[in-house]
Amino acid sequence: MKTTAEYKREAAVLEVRSPGWIVLWGDYTRKFWAFAGWIASEAIVIAATTVQEMERRMRLIEAHYPQRPTWTGQR
C-alpha cells in the first residue's frame, strides 16, 4: 500500500501535467480530487481512486469543454 506522501506526490505530478486543473489527494476519502479551474459557468469537481482513472475523467471533461486556459494551475 502506498503512503500518503506517495499519493500526494502523484497528485502533484498530475496537476503539473494538466494545466487548468487543481489536483489533490484526500487523506480521509482516500481519493484523488480534481477541480477544473477554467470553466466559469459551472463548478466541475471529479474524484477517482487511481491516477489513471482520474486522468481519464479529466480528459473526458476537457473534450466536453475544449476551451483551454492559459493558467497553469501552479500554486
pLDDT tens column, 6-61: 999 999 999 999 988 999 999 999 999 999 987 767 889 999 999 999 999 999 99
Total tally of structural domains belonging to the chain: 1
Confidence check: pLDDT of 66 > 80: no
Q: 74 lies in a domain?
A: no
Boundaries of domain holding 31: 4-64
Q: 69 lies in a domain?
A: no
Rounded (10°) angle between helices 51-64 and 4-17:
30
The enclosing H or E element of 9 equals helix 4-17
Q: 19 lies in a domain?
A: yes
For position 51, what pLDDT does the model report?
97
26 and 32 in contact (C-beta within 8 Å)? Answer: yes
Q: 73 lies in a domain?
A: no
Q: 22 lies in a domain?
A: yes
Q: 72 lies in a domain?
A: no
Q: 71 lies in a domain?
A: no
For position 69, what pLDDT does the model report?
54
CA angle 39–34–17, rounded 5-degree value: 90
